[in-house]
Structure 1
Amino acid sequence: MGDISLSKAVRSNLLSLQSTASMMAKTQERLATGNKVNSALDNPTNFFTAQGLNSRAGDLNQLMDSMANGIQTLEAADNGLTSITKTLESMQSTLRQARQDKSFQTASYTVGAGLTSAQNISFSGGAIGDTPVDIALGTAAVGATAATYDGGSVDFSAADPDLSGLENETISVNGAVVYTFTDQAAGQKADLLAALDAATGGTTTADATGVHISVADGTNFSIQASDAAVTTATGIAATVATTTDGVAAVAAAAKSVDTLVSEINNNADLKGKVRASNDNGKLRIENQSTQDLDVDGVSSSGAIDGVSTGATSIDGNSVRADLANQFNELRDQLDKLADDASFNGINLLRGDNLKLTFNETGTSTIDIQTKEGASINAANLGVLNIEDKDLDSDTNIDTLLGNLKTALNDVRSQSSTFGSNLSIVQNRQDFTKNMINTLQTGAANLTLADMNEEAANLLALQTRQSLSSSSLSLASQADQSVLQLIR
C-alpha cells in the first residue's frame, strides 16, 4: 500500500492533536490514580524513593500489631496483679479480724479443801499439745533449816589464840555490838564464843578453820568485824556477812485460788495458751486456742479434786477457726487469678517471656518478664495454707501479717515494673504511628498529584483538543479547494 501524503498544515495539526491526546491520557491517569508518578518511567528517582519509604512504613505497620498485642498482654497481667493485691488485702483483713477476736471459751472450777502437793490440775490439748502440763494443788511440808556461818580459814583451835593488839575493836551481830576486845589476849576466846552464843541464840564453835555459828531455829542473822585486823585474828569478815540458809519449818497446805492463778499464768509452758483468773473464789480457766482444751484433775461436777481424768474440756475459739478457713479459701484464689491472667497464650504471671520488636531491622527490642522469671503464686509469695491452731497465738498472727505485707510489697513492685514496661510499649507505639505517618507523607509528597492542577490541565487539554480538531478541519478544507479546480 503506498504512503499517504498529507499536507504540511494537516500534518502539523495532526501532530498537535496526537500530542494533546497523549497529555490528556496522562492527565486522566493521574486523576484516576491520584498519583503524578505511577511508574519508574514517570520519575525514577521519586518512584523508587517513595517505594522505599512505603516499604518501611509497611514493615513498621506490621510491628504495630505485635505492639498492640503486647499492650493487651501487659494489661491482662496488670488485671491479675490488681486482683491478687485485693485478695492479699482481704487476707490481711481476715487476720486482723482474728487478731482482734477474743471470744475464747472459759470454765470455772471450785477448788476443794485438803488438796496436797501430790495432786495436780493438768492441761493438755488446745495450744499445749499432747504432753500434759501439771500444776500442783498443794504445797509440801518444809522442815526447818539451820542458818550457819563459817568464819574462814583462820586457825582458831588453840586454847589461847593470839587476840592481842585488838583493843577496842568490836564484833557486831544484826548491827549491834556484842563483843569488844581488850588489851589482854588470854581468855578472850571463850568470852568471844560465849558472846556470839548469846547474841545469835545458837551454837558457836572454833577450830582450825575459824569461827562457826549454827542457829537451829531457822532464822538468819548478820555478823561483822570492825576491822581487818579482827578478820585476820578470827576469820569474821569486816564487811556485813548475812546468812541466807536459815529456813523455818512450813507445814503442808492446799494452795489458794490466787496462788493457783499466779502459778498458771506464770508457767512458761502455759503462757499464751491458757489464762487463769479468780472468778468469785472459783478458778476460771480460759482456753486461748481454736482447739479443745482437756482439763484433768476436775470432776464432772466442776470441782477440782486432783484425781479425775477425762471429765471436762473447754471448747476452742470457733470464730478464729472459721477465719482460718476463710484465709485458706482466699489463698487458693491467688493461684487461680494468676493462671487466668493470660492473653493470646502468654501469661506473664506464670513467668512467660514477652518479646516485642520496635523497628524493622530487629535491633530495637524489649523482653518483658517477672523478676527472675518466677511465677506470681501463693508459694512464691510466701503465703501458705494455715491450720486453725496457727491463729491461736496473737504473736503468730502478727508473723502471718508480716508475711502478707512482704507479699503485697512484692506484688506492688511487680505491678510497678509492668507499668513501666507498658509505658515504654505505649510510647513506642505512638512513636511508630508517627513514623509511619511521616514515611507515608514523604512518599506521597514525591508521587501524589495535585488534583486541582490536573483537573485544570485536563480542561485546558480538552479545549486545546477541540481547537486542534477545528484547525485540522480547516486545513482539510483548504486541500479540498484543489478538487474544485479539477471539477
Structure 2
Amino acid sequence: MAGPILSSGVRNNLLTLQQTTAQQNVIQNRLATGKKVNSAIDNPVNYFTSMSLNDRSSQLTGLLDGISNGIQTIQSASKGIDGITKLVQSLQSTVKQAQADAAQNRPTKAGTALANAAEAAVTSKSLKDIALDKKIVDATGGTAATADGATATSSGDLGIAAGAFGNRLAISVKAGSTTYTASFDGANTTVRDVVNEINKSGIATAFVDEKGQLNVKGSGSDDVEFGIGNAAPASAAAADITAANAAAVTAAGTGGSNTAIGFLAADATAVGAIKGQTITSAVRSNLIQQFNDLRTQIDQLAKDSSFNGINLLQGDRLSIVFNEKTGTNQTKLDIQGSTLTADNLGISQAVNTQLAGFFNFQNDSDLDKATAALTSSLTSLKSLSSTLGSNLSVAQTRQDFTKELSNVLTTGADNLVSADSNAEGASLLALNTRQQLSQTALSLANQADQGVLRLFQ
C-alpha cells in the first residue's frame, strides 16, 4: 500500500529536519565519547594513525617499569659503594691509631757500660759524659785491642786496633732494606761522633744513657743492625773506608769492634752486626681484630647491594631497554658489574707477624703499605662510583625522555581523533535552533495543505 502523498513543501521541510536530527546525533555522540573519530568509517587515515601512535605510546609506557628497575639497581650499587667507602675510611682510622702507637714499637738495643765508677771518680764527670768523650781507636797504637780508661788528663779510648788502612773507621746501620754508611778519621773519632752520625741516618737514633751505655733504636719497626769496623773490603781502591765501600763494615765489625763499643759478641748476627728486637705493641695487636672485622664487612656489604636479583657489585650484568624495537634497531644500556671484595681492592688481612700477603701491624713499613693500599682502594671506589653515576644519569635521562615522548605520542593521537567540546557544543546549539526552525517550517507547510479543506466547508 503506498504511503501518503506529501506536498513538496512538507517533503523538503521533513528532509531538512531529518538531516538536522542526524547531525545532532553525530555531535551528541562526539560529546559523549570525546572523540570526533570513533571508527575507521569516520576518518580511516586519522583513526589508524591514532591507533599506531597510541600503541607505541603504550609500549614505551610499559618500558618505563624496566627503566625504573634499572635505575634502582644502579642506585642500590651506588649506595653499596658509599657504604664500602665509609668502611675503608674506618680502616684508615684504624691504621692511623696503630701508627700513633709507633713510639712504643721500636727495635732497641742497649750495650754494656763504656765507663765505670773509677773513671767517674778520677774525672769528676758523669758516666754519660765519660762515655761520649772516649775515642774509638786505641790511642796507644798497635794491633792489640787495648782499651784505656779515662783519666784526669785523658778521655780514654775503646781500644779498637788500627787496621790495614790505619785509623780509618766506618759504621753501617741497616733497617729493613735500607742501609746507611759513613766513614771517619778514627784517630780523633769519639763515641759522640758515632752517636751523631747514627742520628743523621734517619733510620735509627743513638744516645748514651746515664749508665754510660750506648743505645741504638730504630726509627721504624724493622729490625736494626749496627756495626763498626776499621778495615775496608779487599776491593777498596784507596786506604779510606768511604760510603761506597763501607757497606761491608758489618763483616769487619765482628767480635772485637762491636764488643769494644759495648755490644757483646753474642749479640752479633751471622754478619757481625747487633740486632735490636722489635717490641710487640699491645695497642696494635688489639687493633688487628678491629681491622679484620671491618674488612669482612666490605665483602658482606657488597653482597647485600642487590636489587631485584641483580647485584652490580658482584659481577652481574644489567641491561636497560629504552625503545620498543628489536634487533639492531633496539636501543639499550648494558652495564657490566664488578666483583667488589676486600681482596680485589688490595686490602689484605692484618696479622701480628711478618707474613707474605698480609699487613703486619707491628711493622711501620707494613702500616705504610696498608695506608697506601687503602688510599688506592678509595681511588678505585671513586672511579667505580663515577662510572655508575654516569650510567645512572643516562638511565634517568632516558626515563624522562620516554615519559615525555609517550606524552607527545598520546597527545598527537588525541589531536587526530579527539573532539573539540566547545566547537561541538556550539554546533549542537546551532542544530537545535535549526531543528526548531525546521519544525516551524514544517508546521507552516502543513497549514498550507490544510487550506484545501476550506473548499469543502
TM tier relative to shorter chain:
0.5 to 0.7
Q: Which residue of 1 aligns with 2:154?
A: none
Secondary structure of 1:348's counterpart equals coil
> Alpha-carbon deviations, 1:10-39, whole Å to 9, x = none?
222221111111111111111122221111
Aligned residue for 2:51? 51
Aligned residue number for residue 333 of structure 1 = 297
- Cα distance in 2 for residues equivalent to 1:65 and 1:305: 80
Aligned counterparts of 1:98 and 1:219: Cα–Cα separation in 2: 46
- Seen in structure 2, the aligned counterparts of structure 1 residues 321 and 219 have a Cα distance that, compared at 3 Å, is closer
Q: Aligned match of 1:425 in 374, 380, 395?
A: 395
Aligned to 1:94: 94
**2:332 maps to which residue?**
365
How far residue 97 of structure 1 moved from its aligned partner, in angstroms, is: 2.3
- Cα distance in 2 between the residues matched to 1:4 and 1:486: 20
Match of 1:40 in 2: 40
Distance across 1 between alignment mates of 2:389 and 2:340? 16
Question: Distance between the aligned counterparts of 2:97 and 2:105, measured in 1?
Answer: 17
| Partner Cα distance (2:52, 2:16) in 1 | 38
The yes-or-no answer on 1:455 pairing with 2:425 is yes
Q: State the shift of 1:381 in Å.
A: 1.4
Q: State the 1:305 CA deviation.
A: 12
* CA distance in 2 between partners of 1:459 and 1:403 (Å): 83
- Under a length normalisation based on structure 2, what TM-score does the superposition of the two structures give? 0.62
CA gap of 1:316–1:286, structure 2 versus 1, over 3 A, is farther
Write the deviation string for residues 43-88 of structure 1: whole angstroms up to 9, x where unpaired: 1111111111111111111112211221111111111111111211
Q: Which structure's residues are more often helix, by fraction?
A: 2
1:146-185 matches, within 5 Å, as none
1:332 partner amino acid:
T
Asked which structure has the greater CA Rg, the reply is 1
Partner of 2:282: 318
Partner of 2:138: none
Counterpart Cα distance in 1 of 2:374 and 2:162: 60
Structure 1 position 279, deviation (Å)? 4.5
**Any gaps of 5 or more consecutive residues in structure 2?**
115-141, 145-160, 168-190, 223-262, 267-276, 354-359
Amino acid at match of 2:383: S
1:68-87 equivalence runs, <5 A: 68-87=68-87
Between the two proteins, the alignment pairs up a number of residues equal to: 326
Say if 1:103 and 1:319, in contact at 8 Å, map to a contact too: no
Superposed displacement of residue 384, structure 1: 2.5
Matching residue within 409, 414, 434 for 2:379: 409
Letter of the 2:336 partner, please give it: Q
Aligned to 1:9: 9
**TM-fit CA distance, 1:111:** 5.8
Task: Give a deviation string over 1:181-238, Cα, whole Å, max 9, x none.
Answer: xxxxxxxxxxxxxxxxxxxxxxxxxxxxxxxxxxxxx988xxxxxxxxxxxxxxxxxx
Please give the secondary structure, in 2, of the residue aligned with 1:20: helix
Question: 1:203 aligns to what?
Answer: none
Cα distance change on mapping 1:219 and 1:435 into 2, 3 Å: closer
Match of 1:63 in 2: 63
Counterparts of 1:379 and 1:480, CA distance in 2: 109
Partner in structure 2 of residue 386 of structure 1? 350
Question: If the length of structure 1 is used for normalisation, what is the TM-score?
Answer: 0.59
Equivalent residues of 2:320, 2:332 under 8 A apart: yes
Q: State the one-letter code of the partner of 2:102.
A: K
Aligned residue number for residue 104 of structure 1: 104
Structure 1: 5+ residue runs without aligned partners?
A: 114-143, 147-217, 221-242, 247-257, 291-303, 308-312
Letter in 1 for 2:378: L
Name the counterpart of 1:477.
447
Task: Map 1:261-300; keep pairs closer than 5 Å.
Answer: 278-281=208-211
Among the aligned pairs, what percent are the same residue?
A: 45
> Residue 47 of structure 2 aligns to which amino acid in structure 1?
F
Q: CA deviation at 1:100?
A: 2.4
* 2:436 counterpart residue number: 466
Q: Aligned letter for 1:321? A: S
The 1:387–1:360 alpha-carbon spacing in structure 2 relative to 1, beyond 3 Å, is: same
**Which segments of structure 1 move beyond 6 Å, counting only runs of 4 or more?**
105-110, 282-290, 304-307
Q: Secondary structure at the match of 1:58?
A: helix
Whether the 8 Å contact between 1:34 and 1:448 is mirrored in structure 2 is: yes
Question: SS of the counterpart of 1:354?
Answer: strand
Q: Is the contact made by 2:280 and 2:362 (CA closer than 8 Å) also made in structure 1?
A: no
1:343 matched to 2:307? The reply is: yes
Q: CA deviation at 1:314?
A: 10
- Find the aligned partners of 1:13 and 1:358 in 2 and give their Cα distance: 61
Distance in 1, matches of 2:98 and 2:306, equals: 34
The CA distance in 1 between the partners of 2:113 and 2:143, in whole Å, is 31
Match of 1:158 in 2: none
Where 2:307 maps in the other structure, the secondary structure is coil
The answer to whether 1:356 aligns with 2:286 is: no
